[in-house]
Chain A
Amino acid sequence: MTQTNQGEDLYAQGSDTSDGRVFTVTGQDWDSVVQGVSEAADDGAERVVVNMGPQHPSTHGVLRLILELEGETVTEARCGIGYLHTGIEKNMEFRTWVQGVTFCTRMDYLSPFYNEMTYTLGVERLLDIEDDIPEKAEVMRVLLMELNRLSSHLVAIATGGMEIGALTVMTIGFRERELVLDLFELITGLRMNHAFIRPGGVAQDLPPGALDEIRDFVALMKKRLPEYAALCNANPIFRARLEGVGHLDLSGCLALGLTGPPLRATGYAWDLRKAQPYSGYEDYDFDVMTWDTADSYGRFRIRLAEMHESLKIVEQCADRLAGLEGAPVMVADKKIAWPSQLAIGSDGMGNSLDHIRHIMGESMEALIHHFKLVTEGFRVPPGQAYVPVESPRGELGAHVVSDGGTRPFRAHFRDPSFTNLQATSVMSEGGMVADVIVAIASIDPVMGGVDR
C-alpha cells in the first residue's frame, strides 16, 4: 500500500466543474445571475447550463434536470436519476415470496396496489394457481386498484396544476385524494405501504361497513369530479399552458416505450385491462379513454375521463362484493395461503384469537404448519413470468424469476415512470424553459418507481 491511498475517500472527491462559471441559485438572487450571465455573454459565451433539482417542487421528487438554454429556449434537456435508488429489487432476493410484496409496494408510492398486483400475478403464474384465486379476492383487487387509480390521477392533476400556478386545483385534488386514502385505511389498515395483495389472494376480508363507505364515496365523487372539468377544461390560462406542450405522437411513443395516458393521448386506445385482461377485468363495463392531440392537455383530459371510468368500475365492484359476503379471499391451497387471519382485539389489530387457540391449544400440526409457512414460506417452481398490469402511468410489469426456492431469484420491475421519463428530451427540447415543467408533469413520473 502506498501512502497516497491513505485517508482518501472514494466517494467524497471533488465534483467541481472544469469549465464555465457556476452560480448557485436558491431564490431571490436572480440579479447576480443575470449580471453574471450578461458578463459571460460579453465574453462570447451565450450558452447556459441549468441544473434543476435534484430536489425541487416541480420535479416530482428527486429528479435532476440538466437544461441547456439559449435565452429562454431549451436546446438540450437531460435527466439525472438515481437519487432515490434504494435497492428494493436486490432486497427482495433476501426475503420470502410473501415478504416481497412488502418491499415492492414501496416502489411507486402513489400506486402501491399496482406494484403488489403485478408481482403477485407473476408469482401466481409460476405457482400455477392463477385459476384458483377466489372470486372475492379478484374483485377486491380490482376495487383497490381502481380506487388507487383515482388517488394517483388526483395527485397527477393536483401537482400538475400546482406547477403551473393553479393552486386551487392542487388543494381540491388533495382533498379528494384524502378520501381515497381514508378508504384504503379502512380496508387495509394503512394509507400506503399496504402489502395487502399477496400471492394467493388478499390479506384480509372487507371490514364491516366498508361497502357503505365506498358507496358514499362514489356518490360524493360523482358530484365533485365535474368540478374539475368546470374549473380546468375550458379555462383559457390552463389551456394556454397545456395545449401543444410536450407533443409526442404515436410513433414517438412506441419507439420510446411510452404507455398509459401519453400513449392514449395520441388516439390509440391501448389499455392492458382491455387488451390482455387480468383479475377478471373482462367482466367489467368500462371504456378506454383517448384524446387526439398528443399533448399535455390531452393527457390531462384522459386522466380526468379515466377517473369517471374508475368510479364506474368501483361501483360494479361494490355491487359484486355485496353478494360475496363471507366468501374466501385467499386461495384454498393450505400450502400457499397465509395461515392466520387478522382480527380486532382489545389491544388493536392482531392475529385472530380463534386461530391462536387452534394452533396453541388444539392442533400441533397446525402450529407446525403455521410456523413453517411464516418463517420458511412456500417454494415456487423454477421458471420466469412477466404479467404486466395497466398502472395509472402505463405498463407496469414484474419480471419474476424463481430457482425453486423460498425466495425470489430475481424480481425486476419495468416501471412506466422510468421508461416514460426518457421522453423528457424529445418533449421539451426546442420549447420554452417553463414548458419543461408542464411536459414532465404530463408524464407524471414518480421517482420512487423510477429509481426503485
Chain B
Amino acid sequence: MSEEKGPDQRATEQSPENVPVPEGTTSERAVGVRTGMFGVAGTGDTSGYGGLVKPTVFPGAAQRPYGGWFDTVADSLDALIERVVIHRGEITFHVHRDHLLEVAQKLRDDETLRFEFCSGVSGVHYPEDTGRELHAVYHLTSMTWNRRIRVEVSCPDADPHIPSIVSVYPTNDWHEREAWDFFGIIFDGHPGLTRIQMPDDWPGHPQRKDYPLGGIPVEYKGGSIPPPDQRRSYN
C-alpha cells in the first residue's frame, strides 16, 4: 500500500474502516442481541432507531501465524485446542472440557511452556450462548518466560460439569469453590466442592444472570426509587 491516496481512489479503499465486514469472516457466533440505539425501552421513541437489532459478537478466532511466542504455546497444544482468540494483545485458548486436565498438566510441566502460576478461575454466565452458557476462565502465568495466557472452557447449563484442575494447580481449590458457589459449575474431582462465600444452605447461585440482584425501593422525600435492577437503565 505505497501509493498515495488520491481522488481517483474508491471510497471503500480510502477509508476501509467504514466498510462492513464481509459475511462469514467472523467465525465467532453471536452470544446475544442488543436492541435499540439508546438502550431504553418504552420511551415512546419515534425515531425508528429503537427498532435496531444488533448481535453481540465477541472477537473472532485468530489465524496463524499468531506472532511471537503465541505460536510456540499454540504449537505445543495444537491438537487440544478448539479455537484461539487474540484480542488487545491477550491470547485466549478455548479448550473443550474433555481436554482441560491434559492441557493444564501440559501447560504446567512442558519445558517450553512452564505456566507455573494459575491466577484462579473466573466464572462467566452467557445465558444466550445456547449450549455453552457457563464459561470458566483461567488466567495462567509463566514466570520462567514472563508470559500470560487465558484458557477458557465452557459447559452447557443442562450439564454443568467441568473437570477440576486442583490436582495440577492446588491454588484453584478455593477459586473453584467460588465458581461453584456463584455459578453452579460443578468441578468434577474437586476434593471438597462446598460453598465458600454464601451460607451452606443458600438456594441458587447468585452471580448467574437469571438470579436477581435483589433490593428494595428507597423512599426519599416522598419519592420512591426502585432497586438498581428494576430502574430504567441503558444496556
**Complex Cα–Cα for A81 and B207 (A):** 18
Residues of B within 8 A of A270 (CB): 143
**Complex Cα–Cα for A100 and B19 (A):** 34
Is A419's CB under 8 angstroms from B175's CB?
yes
A residues 40-96 near B (Cβ < 8 Å) are: 81-82, 85, 87, 89-91, 93-96
Determine, out of B70-78, B85-93, B156-164, the stretch whose residues face the partner at the interface. Answer: B85-93
Is B170's CB under 8 angstroms from A256's CB?
yes
**Complex Cα–Cα for A310 and B23 (A):** 53
Residues of A within 8 A of B229 (CB): 94
Is B139's CB under 8 angstroms from A397's CB?
yes
Is B174's CB under 8 angstroms from A422's CB?
yes
**Complex Cα–Cα for A421 and B39 (A):** 42
Residues of A within 8 A of B137 (CB): 384, 399
**Complex Cα–Cα for A13 and B200 (A):** 12
Q: From B58, B120, B197, give the contact of A419 (CB < 8 A).
A: B120
B residues 114-150 near A (Cβ < 8 Å) are: 116-120, 122-125, 137, 139, 143, 146, 148, 150
Is B139's CB under 8 angstroms from A382's CB?
no
Is B117's CB under 8 angstroms from A386's CB?
no
B196 within 8 A of partner (CB): yes
Interface size grouping (class) on chain A: 35 or more
A449 within 8 A of partner (CB): no
Given contacts A11-B199, A128-B88, A377-B234, contact A382 B58 (CB under 8 A): yes
**Complex Cα–Cα for A378 and B180 (A):** 32
| Number of residues of chain B lying within 8 A (CB) of chain A | 52
**Complex Cα–Cα for A405 and B40 (A):** 12
**Complex Cα–Cα for A451 and B120 (A):** 15
Is A257's CB under 8 angstroms from B120's CB?
yes
Residues of A within 8 A of B139 (CB): 386, 388, 397, 399, 414
B4 within 8 A of partner (CB): no
Q: From A268, A383, A399, A421, give the contact of B88 (CB < 8 A).
A: A383
Is B207's CB under 8 angstroms from A405's CB?
no
Residues of A within 8 A of B169 (CB): 255, 257
A303 within 8 A of partner (CB): no
Residues of A within 8 A of B228 (CB): 91, 94-95
User: Which residue of chain A has its CB nearest to the CB of B54?
Assistant: A404
User: Which residue of chain A has its CB nearest to the CB of B57?
Assistant: A382
Residues of A within 8 A of B57 (CB): 382
Given contacts A126-B88, A383-B58, A412-B122, contact A254 B116 (CB under 8 A): yes
In the complex, what's the smallest C-beta–C-beta distance from B169 to chain A, in angstroms?
7
In the complex, what's the smallest C-beta–C-beta distance from A92 to chain B, in angstroms?
11
Is B206's CB under 8 angstroms from A386's CB?
no
Residues of A within 8 A of B88 (CB): 125-126, 128, 383, 385
Is A407's CB under 8 angstroms from B59's CB?
no
A residues 241-270 near B (Cβ < 8 Å) are: 254-259, 268, 270
Is B87's CB under 8 angstroms from A81's CB?
no
B80 within 8 A of partner (CB): no
Q: From A128, A257, A275, A383, give the contact of B119 (CB < 8 A).
A: A257
Q: From B39, B124, B198, give the contact of A401 (CB < 8 A).
A: B124
**Complex Cα–Cα for A91 and B229 (A):** 9
A406 within 8 A of partner (CB): yes
Determine, out of B8-16, B30-38, B96-104, the stretch whose residues face the partner at the interface. Answer: B30-38
User: Which residue of chain B has its CB nearest to the CB of A397?
Assistant: B119
Is B58's CB under 8 angstroms from A407's CB?
no
User: Which residue of chain A has its CB nearest to the CB of B228?
Assistant: A94
B56 within 8 A of partner (CB): yes
**Complex Cα–Cα for A11 and B203 (A):** 10
In the complex, what's the smallest C-beta–C-beta distance from B90 to chain A, in angstroms?
6
A351 within 8 A of partner (CB): no
B235 within 8 A of partner (CB): yes
| Interface membership of chain B positions 171-197, coded 1 if the CB is closer than 8 angstroms to chain A and 0 otherwise | 111110010000000000000000111
Is A82's CB under 8 angstroms from B87's CB?
no
Is B196's CB under 8 angstroms from A81's CB?
yes
Q: From B59, B174, B206, B207, give the contact of A418 (CB < 8 A).
A: B174
**Complex Cα–Cα for A70 and B90 (A):** 50
Given contacts A257-B171, A386-B90, contact A276 B39 (CB under 8 A): no
A1 within 8 A of partner (CB): no
In the complex, what's the smallest C-beta–C-beta distance from A386 to chain B, in angstroms?
5
B111 within 8 A of partner (CB): no
Is A383's CB under 8 angstroms from B87's CB?
yes
Q: From B119, B143, B170, B235, give the contact of A255 (CB < 8 A).
A: B170
A residues 392-433 near B (Cβ < 8 Å) are: 395, 397, 399, 401, 403-407, 409-410, 412, 414, 418-419, 421-422
Given contacts A126-B88, A385-B88, contact A407 B175 (CB under 8 A): no
Is A422's CB under 8 angstroms from B235's CB?
no
Is A275's CB under 8 angstroms from B58's CB?
no
Is B201's CB under 8 angstroms from A11's CB?
yes
B53 within 8 A of partner (CB): no
User: Which residue of chain A has its CB nearest to the CB of B137?
Assistant: A399
**Complex Cα–Cα for A415 and B116 (A):** 18
A39 within 8 A of partner (CB): no
- Can you list 13 A-B contacts with CB-CB less than 8 angstroms, sorted by A residue number? A82-B198, A93-B213, A94-B233, A125-B90, A255-B170, A257-B170, A275-B143, A382-B56, A403-B31, A407-B234, A414-B120, A414-B139, A451-B197
**New contact pairs (5) apart from A257-B171, A414-B120, CB-CB < 8 Å:** A87-B206, A126-B88, A257-B120, A412-B122, A451-B197
Q: Which 7 A-B pairs have the closest CB atoms?
A: A257-B171, A412-B122, A82-B197, A85-B197, A399-B122, A94-B228, A376-B234
